[in-house]
Amino acid sequence: MLDPAVSDQWWKNAVVYCVDVSRFMDSNGDGVGDFRGLTQRLPYLSGLGVTCLWLLPFYPSPGRDDGYDVSDYYAVDPRLGSLGEFVEFVRTARGLGIRVVTDLVVNHTSSDHPWFRDARRSRDSTYRDWYVWSDEEPEQQGKIIFPDKEDSNWAWDEEAGQYYLHRFYSSEPDLDIANPDVRDEIHRIMGFWLELGVSGFRIDAAPYLIGDTGIEDEMPQDPHDFLEDMRGFLSRRRGDAVLLGEVNLDPGERETFFGDEGDELTCLFDFIMSGAVFTAMARGEAGPLADQLRRTPRPPRTAQWLNFLRNHDELNLSRLPEDQKQDVMHAFAPDEEMRIFDRGIRRRLPPMVDGDRRRIELAISLVMTLPGTPVLLYGEEIGMGDDLGTEGRRSVRTVMQWSDGPNGGFSTGEDLAAPLIDHGPFRYQDVNVADQRRHEDSLLNRVERAIRVRKESPEFGWGSWSVLDTGDRRVLAHRCDWLGSAVVAVHNLSGDDVEVRLDLHAGQQVDDVADLFGNDRFEPLDPEDAVFALSPYGYRWLRGRGAGSEVAL
């Protein structure tokens, strides 16, 4: 039985699915995905096993930064639908057991936002102090996030007669989080969407929300207090809601965003673990991943790590040691057009591994079993590819491939919101939901089964973890323990046949070991002499049983 004190922590054993509404399903033939289309596809997502949808920005926006340049926080982009259709979507999702988390982009606004338009008109404007201004361009510059587009964090505004701070694009002026009026407004934005039924927010670029802004000296308190205030507001309004944090920082620094008592961000995306997965896959060795598992601290009781392979941005390798970064680049992005910002890869996983089904499954198995909560990007379940002919990070944001019909079943329109992959090995005629549904051994069906077993194995999400000695540098084995039960996952990172022997029960009597999931039909293991024979890129999940009931391994 779950501890009543943490029984509402649904996110500990969730399966999160990232969706761009505009690229998922078009219901009216205008070429743009919308909430009606997404609502129509909710039964598909429910059948897949998804329990939480993370929505990329859907607010009104001039679209200079894929919707992250917000011009109205209290509305839905008219192309995507209405507030009423959003509410209907959330209600339908809830009825299918799916929660909804939305992107909260409040470190900056669009330069088209009414607040900024008013602020630039006069120094006496109510909104002037909602942004960060300077009469002279500061000599000290922070890190330029998009060096291919910007050469400064400050931009001159002719109408205002001052420079304004922008840590991202110059069309996205930073809000002054030190201003209590701005903080109150952020709470109002959160409260508005919570009232419409969302289960929390993903905080975009969380470190830039509270720090490295050029105004730290003006902050009246510890900047982290603002995150604690956000978490407190969220908990008061809805006790089971979450804050998911995009925090790509070095070890030791990133964990501070959980808060000393686990009272800031609920979950952090583990960028360092993601980099370790790709390093291990690039080298065909378990070492980088095993080392990172050993180094990763257990989060506070009220917090969690989020594991992912790819998200909607580039595969960010900025936290990897230089030798590991170069190995990953060489293996998965050998051409310059595949790279971006000198720190990342703008490809989806299947093209990175040349469509090798074994390696795709291996990666999915890893993200499902690593300690924490798995996050999938839309289309990952069918092995969608990318379009390197599209500018920048949009290469991985192509439209969803539903069938081999016109426009891949995404839309009946002609002018699509995003590219459709209609050439090469990942074209929609060959990679689509309808086709894979018809084939029992398809990637879609394997992922669906993996999700089902993952949800039946709460040890991966709730438990403490340890790395097991395999005696073979190519094989990773780790164990997760929770409430007297334990599961073990074994992965062969190499293209070789391997055989390893593991001590499963660690001194406890185990009558037999039951297979949960794997890439093959395996012979039953002898717990006293557990020999694992794995094919190239093979994997196996197990749980111990004894005396008619499940026990710790």
**Residues annotated catalytic, as ranges:** 204, 246
C-alpha 30/C-alpha 27 separation (Å) is 8
36 φ/ψ angles, rounded to the nearest 5 degrees: -65, -45
Q: Give the span between the Cα atoms of 222 and 477, in whole angstroms.
A: 41
Give 84-91's long-range contacts (Cβ < 8 A, gap of 24+): 85/34, 85/35, 85/36, 85/39, 86/35, 86/58, 86/196, 87/196, 87/197, 88/35, 88/39, 89/35, 89/36, 89/38, 89/39, 89/42, 90/196, 90/197, 90/198, 91/197
| Cβ 386 vs Cβ 351: under 8 Å | yes
Strands (E) across 122-214 are located at 133-134, 154-157, 162-165, 200-203
Nearest to 450 by CA among 543, 378, 381, 525: 381
Sheet architecture: strand order including 339-340: 315-316, 344-345, 339-340
**Pairwise CA distance, residues 191 & 417, whole Å:** 30
- Report which residue type is found at 120: R
How is residue 234 annotated by DSSP?
H
CA atoms of 252 and 261, how far apart (whole Å): 15
Strand partners, 532: 500
CB 530 within 8 A of CB 503: yes
Token couple for 515: 């297979």
Give the span between the Cα atoms of 350 and 360, in whole angstroms.
Answer: 6
How many residues are given for the chain?
A: 553
Whole-angstrom Cα distance, residue 434 to residue 437?
Answer: 5
